[in-house]
Amino acid sequence: MTRTLYTKDHEYIHVDGDLGVVGITDFAQGQLGDVVFVELPQVGAKIAKGAAAAVVESVKAANEVYAPVAGEVVEANGDLEGDPAMVNEEPQGKGWFFKLRIADQGELDSLLDEAGYKALTDSLA
């Protein structure tokens, strides 16, 4: 069963067992505007929780994408390099950034569920 959790920095992780699919939320892509470039992590890279894992660049700004939990990158979404606009079109679908083998399931407990994330974004509106 897949569940989705969120960071206060507007990353999401779709968790399925020990794998997580990471990207930025719809709220984040809306704040960024048109995404023009994405820099993805290397497969095999070990990333600490909260560490910069990727970069997303828009017409407005460049921002780092942080790892919601520690783990090893098992796949990067190479489709984004040729079509970074997928981040705007389907941020929580085809616009994912990388897949991570989760090192410590306990780190998921510090993330927000959907209701917690909605409360966070509502407070920013």
Determine, yes or no, domain membership for 94: yes
Q: Provide the domain limits for residue 77.
A: 3-108
| pLDDT at 1 (0 to 100) | 78
Task: For residue range 67-119, list pLDDT tens digits in order.
Answer: 999 999 999 999 999 999 999 999 999 999 999 999 999 999 999 999 999 99
Give the number of domains in the chain: 1
pLDDT digits (tens, 9 = 90+) for 33-74: 999 999 999 999 999 999 999 999 999 889 999 999 999 999
Closest CA to 34 of 87, 79, 80: 87
pLDDT in tens, 2-31: 899 999 999 999 999 999 999 999 999 999
- Look at residue 26 and tell me if it is in a domain: yes
Would you state the pLDDT for residue 125?
74
Residue 120, domain member (yes or no): no
Q: What pTM was estimated for this model as a whole?
A: 0.96
DSSP single-letter state for residue 96:
-
CATH of the domain at 93: 2.40.50.100
CB 23, CB 92: distance < 8 Å? yes
